Amino acid sequence: MRAWIMAAMMAAGAAGAQPLTLERHGSFHVGGREVVVSGQPVREVVFSPGGVPARVDPNGTYLMAGMYAQYMLPTPLRGAAPMLMWHGGGLTGVTWETTPDGRPGWQDFFVRRGWHTVVSDAVERGRAGWTMIPEQTGGTPVLLTVNNPWERFRIGPNYARREVMPGSQFPVDAYDNFVRQNVPRFTTTDDLTLAAYIALLERMGPSVIVAHSQAGLFANRAAQARPDLVRALVLVEPAAVGDPARVAALANVPMLLVYGDYIVEDARWPTIRANGVRWAEAVRAAGGSADVVDLPERGIRGNSHMIMMDRNSDVVAALVQEWLAAKGLWR
């Protein structure tokens, strides 16, 4: 094992053994817009067995497309900007809070190193709330089957036979706990979601964005819309990138793209990774800074798409921490 990996593991263990000291923590909702519904029939609804029927009029003004955010502000504060942690498709902020097998997640890792972290549930996910107004969502929600993430997230080639990728670091004994975290998602609410993320940036001020999978799209486009509010982008296996016509907007936003293992063997991920690499090249051609890290090339092996949940997640977090420090964002 490379010396720096061993050192990172030892440092992570030492940090985790210390008390977690917060100045304060809390949560808030941000973003959203008013929507007026009319022409719907009034109904009587019994909300509890044996209860008295209540008249429910669905007509009126609704507030939809807001976002939930939970923050932790440590003391001492060492991160030069808040760290916003954005989850992937069909998931929530739980992605960053804890691993399926109960280990502390990246939120804990970075808070312990003095980062003001903000973990969000995006539009239509988790504590952000839900809407069933078809005219607003524009589509049908998608929910993953039990076997889908096993194969699509490069945990193993065959869920039915519980086949695992050789050397996999994903905690497969806790796979059911991961599936329990999956939530319905729309594929038609990107504009609503992006607007909420920009509202979050405007509330928090200049920030570091750590984005996973689907959120790679929102992180890039939010940074293109408000480069003054983004100090750096850390893209963990981004499923999509930004607007090629506006790549120059990222010239002053340093970017790190991180990819795990088993990509060559997968049907989809070679193309997804190639898109990310081309995006990094475009950012550099526009005068920006974009580093691409393939973990196996660094001696870090066995990572699934859910890098922050794998058993070696702290080693990867230490790599991100080192990169952020090198960019002058940690003091």
Residue 293 lies in a domain: yes
Domain range holding 161? 3-33+65-326
- CA 260 from chain center: how many Å? 16
pLDDT at 14 over 90: no
| Average confidence (pLDDT) over 43-69 | 94
Q: How far apart are CA 177 and CA 102, in angstroms?
A: 9
> What confidence score (pLDDT) does residue 133 get?
80
Position 5 confidence tier, pLDDT thresholds 50, 70, 90: low
> What confidence score (pLDDT) does residue 7 get?
58
Length of the chain as a residue count: 331
Quick: pLDDT tens for 26-43: 999 999 999 999 999 999
Verify cis geometry, omega within 30 degrees of 0, for the bond prior to 82: no
pLDDT at 327 over 70: yes
| Tokens coding 99 | 């691993």
> What confidence score (pLDDT) does residue 195 get?
97
Residue 185 lies in a domain: yes
Residue 7 lies in a domain: yes
* Lowest-confidence region among 30-39, 211-220, 298-307, 322-331: 30-39
Quick: pLDDT tens for 242-260: 999 999 999 999 999 999 9
pLDDT over 90 percentage in the chain: 89
| Average confidence (pLDDT) over 198-217 | 98
Residue 297 lies in a domain: yes
Quick: pLDDT tens for 267-312: 999 999 999 999 999 999 999 999 999 999 999 999 999 999 999 9
> What confidence score (pLDDT) does residue 129 get?
84
> What confidence score (pLDDT) does residue 137 get?
85
Phi-psi region of 199 (alpha: psi -120 to 50; beta: other; left: phi over 0): alpha
> What confidence score (pLDDT) does residue 170 get?
98
Q: Which pTM does this prediction carry?
A: 0.94
Residue 40 lies in a domain: no
> What confidence score (pLDDT) does residue 9 get?
58
How many of the other CB atoms lie within 10 Å of CB of 283? Answer: 25
Q: Do the Cβ atoms of 105 and 96 come closer than 8 Å?
A: yes
- Residue 105: which of 316, 322, 323 has the closest Cα? 316
Position 139 confidence tier, pLDDT thresholds 50, 70, 90: confident
Pairing of β 207-212 and β 230-236 = parallel
Quick: pLDDT tens for 76-107: 999 999 999 999 999 999 999 999 999 999 99
Overall number of domains in the chain: 1
Position 117 confidence tier, pLDDT thresholds 50, 70, 90: very high
Residue 109 lies in a domain: yes
pLDDT at 204 over 90: yes
Position 19 confidence tier, pLDDT thresholds 50, 70, 90: confident
Residue 86 lies in a domain: yes
- Residue 121: which of 85, 67, 84 has the closest Cα? 67
- Average pLDDT over the chain reads 94
Residue 291 lies in a domain: yes
Quick: pLDDT tens for 171-194: 999 999 999 999 999 999 999 999
> What confidence score (pLDDT) does residue 81 get?
98
CATH number at residue 94: 3.40.50.1820
pLDDT at 47 over 60: yes
| Average confidence (pLDDT) over 136-159 | 93
Q: Do the Cβ atoms of 138 and 144 come closer than 8 Å?
A: no
Comparison of pLDDT for 19 and 145, the residue scoring more: 145
